[in-house]
Amino acid sequence: MTTSRETSVAATVAALSDIVGPQACLTAADDTATYTTDYRKLYHGQAIAVVLPANTDEVSRVMAWCYQHDISVVPQGGNTSLMGGAVPDASGNAVIINLKRMNRVLEVDAVNDTMTVQAGVTLHAARAAAEEATRLFPLRIGSEGSCQIGGNLSTNAGGTAVLRYGNMRDLVLGVEAVLPDGRIYSGLRGLRKDNTGYDLKQLFVGSEGTLGIITAAVLKLMPLPRASSVAFVAVANPAAAVSLLGEAKKTAGQSVTAFELISRPALDLVLAYLGGMKSPMEGAHDWMVLIELTSGSAAESLDQTMVQVLEAGMESGLVLDAAIAASGADAQNFWRIREEISDAQTRTGGSIKCDVSVPLSRIANFIAEASAAVLALEPSARMVVYGHMGDGNVHFNPLRPADRDSKEFLAAHYKTISHAVDSLAHAAGGSISAEHGIGVAKRDDLARFKTPVELELMWQIKRALDPKNLLNPAKVLPAQ
Ligand code: 2HG
Ligand code: ZN
């Protein structure tokens, strides 16, 4: 005997297969497993089907069908979210739309300095296409080989070059998105000036697929850097790092492209994870920064500028030691140490991720207060604190003590530690999610940190675009 649910699942699969073709409508558990679980394997869900549309029209038809039949849809790009934003819940009632087949670079307009891409283009492929036209697409994040432009936009991704170029919100000029009922918002314009009312494209940026599915975008391109200098620098403490950043901006101006903080436990963890790799500096230091200067002019000697910054820092006691990359390979190794910290934590397990930002003027104080709060709760926690200090954004990720089981540590401390850290960030005028978004992981916390007016406005926008609450339901917005 078949139940009515089985009948409706079968009807859904048949209808979606008709739209995208049977090969692109996956239902077998083996085929859907990588889509129903996030890459860190922390969030596990189920889906009626995973559909892989080939174009915007197919996305639109899938959405329209699901809307008419009250079926939830979870949009998905490279599935690299740290917040569980791209996987469905365990009910098995949703359809996943994964954009990976929509992976064409549609146009590179070198005169307009723009690039039009489908949402499923990986960040790596987008950067490579820009480089072929001697341009830079400047978003830089560790997952660039897997993450996709659609996901970068819908989470307003940041990364290690925001200080110079801004985050995804600043790098997009136009968006095409399919609305929950299947209508298409066509805003693929490459204009730097367009004051014709509400900036609708920005509604879809950072809304984590709750308002529409981004299917294509026009992105800004920049001049390709022709000179660079990268240094690994030991600083006295986070306050010294902030002062050194001021010094670097004064001396190197716009060239300051990245300014990343790394605590000693973060360095120790990643060096252990990477095996053969050594610290760029002799001796152990509690706090380090990775500084990158870049310029579009090959004539500039940025190593000289870097030396000037570091000498000034040494004279004023901010800098304890420093290594300037002597070659491209050195620079790559310095960066590798920074980029792999996240995976080193995933591998170790038992990391409490707080992706917070506070005004730069308060960041050193915040780090001191939050560290004291965590150590009061768990004196042996490893203080993996690192990230985009130049943007006022730290990944404040206390890690389980080496001799403690990860599940047991998270069960004992996840809530208390993340609440303590988030509350201190909020009290310092900061944000509880600087760049990773909200997804499901921070959804309930949002209710504590947004004002009632903010929450109400968010729900009003959600209802206006998605009146049936079918698109990425139970993500971002706390239940009302
Ligand atoms: C990074 O900056 C990423 O490396 C990941 O944003 C941070 O894993 C993290 O907490
Ligand atoms: Zn980051």
Model confidence at 7: pLDDT above 90: no
Residue with the smallest CA separation from ligand 1 atom 4 is: 342
Percent over 90 (pLDDT), the chain: 97
Q: What is the pLDDT of residue 1?
A: 67
Which regions of 358-469 does DSSP assign to beta strands (E)?
382-387, 393-399
Residue 347, C-beta contacts closer than 8 angstroms, at least 6 positions apart:
273
Q: Tell me what the mean pLDDT of segment 254-280 comes to.
A: 96
Residue with the smallest CA separation from ligand 1 atom 5 is: 342
Do 151 and 78 meet the contact criterion of CB atoms below 8 Å apart? yes
Phi-psi region of 197 (alpha: psi -120 to 50; beta: other; left: phi over 0): left
Beta bridge partners of 291: 231, 259
CA distances from 221 to 112, 144, 425 (A): 9, 17, 33
Going from the N-terminus, what domains does the chain have, and what CATH number goes with each? 4-98 (3.30.43.10), 105-223 (3.30.465.10), 227-341 (3.30.70.2190), 349-427 (3.30.70.2740)
Q: Is 353 in the pocket of ligand 1 (CB under 6 A)?
A: yes
Do 183 and 467 meet the contact criterion of CB atoms below 8 Å apart? no
| Rounded distance between C-alpha atoms, residue 217 and residue 152, angstroms | 11
Q: Is 158 in the pocket of ligand 1 (CB under 6 A)?
A: no
| Rounded distance between C-alpha atoms, residue 359 and residue 302, angstroms | 28
Per-residue b or e along 431-445, where b marks 16 or more CB atoms closer than 10 Å to that residue's CB: bbbbbbbbbbbbbeb
CA distances from 147 to 33, 39, 161, 258, 309 (A): 18, 11, 16, 21, 35
For 339-382, how does the pLDDT look when each residue is reduced to its tens digit (9 = 90+)? 999 999 999 999 999 999 999 999 999 999 999 999 999 999 99
Model confidence at 238: pLDDT above 70: yes
Task: Spell out the alpha helix ranges (H) of 21-89.
Answer: 29-36, 56-68
Q: Tell me what the mean pLDDT of segment 80-95 comes to.
A: 97
Structure tokens at 150: 């659609």
Structure tokens at 289: 């920064």
Q: Tell me what the mean pLDDT of segment 284-294 comes to.
A: 98
The sheet with strand 213-220 has its strands ordered as 105-109, 114-118, 213-220, 172-178, 184-187
Model confidence at 5: pLDDT above 90: no
Q: Is 395 in the pocket of ligand 1 (CB under 6 A)?
A: yes
| Rounded distance between C-alpha atoms, residue 271 and residue 265, angstroms | 10
Distance from the alpha carbon of residue 435 to the mean position of ligand 2, in angstroms: 7
Distance from the alpha carbon of residue 436 to the mean position of ligand 1, in angstroms: 8
Q: Tell me what the mean pLDDT of segment 432-455 comes to.
A: 97
Q: Is 154 in the pocket of ligand 1 (CB under 6 A)?
A: no
pTM over 0.75: yes
Q: Is 140 in the pocket of ligand 1 (CB under 6 A)?
A: no
Q: Is 387 in the pocket of ligand 1 (CB under 6 A)?
A: yes
For 173-218, how does the pLDDT look when each residue is reduced to its tens digit (9 = 90+)? 999 999 999 999 999 999 999 999 999 999 999 999 999 999 999 9
Residue 234, C-beta contacts closer than 8 angstroms, at least 6 positions apart:
281, 283, 285, 287, 288, 319, 320, 321, 322
Confidence grade of residue 48 (pLDDT, cut at 50, 70, 90)? very high
Instruction: Provide the 8-state DSSP code for 470.
Output: -
Residue with the smallest CA separation from ligand 1 atom 9 is: 342
For 21-46, how does the pLDDT look when each residue is reduced to its tens digit (9 = 90+)? 999 999 999 999 999 999 889 999 99
Confidence grade of residue 6 (pLDDT, cut at 50, 70, 90)? confident
For 115-155, how does the pLDDT look when each residue is reduced to its tens digit (9 = 90+)? 999 999 999 999 999 999 999 999 999 999 999 999 999 99
Q: What is the pLDDT of residue 4?
A: 77
Which regions of 52-113 does DSSP assign to beta strands (E)?
72-76, 94-98, 105-109
Confidence grade of residue 3 (pLDDT, cut at 50, 70, 90)? confident
Q: Is 61 in the pocket of ligand 1 (CB under 6 A)?
A: no
Q: Tell me what the mean pLDDT of segment 386-409 comes to.
A: 97
For 312-347, how does the pLDDT look when each residue is reduced to its tens digit (9 = 90+)? 999 999 999 999 999 999 999 999 999 999 999 999
Residue 398 DSSP SS3: strand
Q: Tell me what the mean pLDDT of segment 48-69 comes to.
A: 98
φ, ψ at 433 (rounded to 5°) = -145, 100
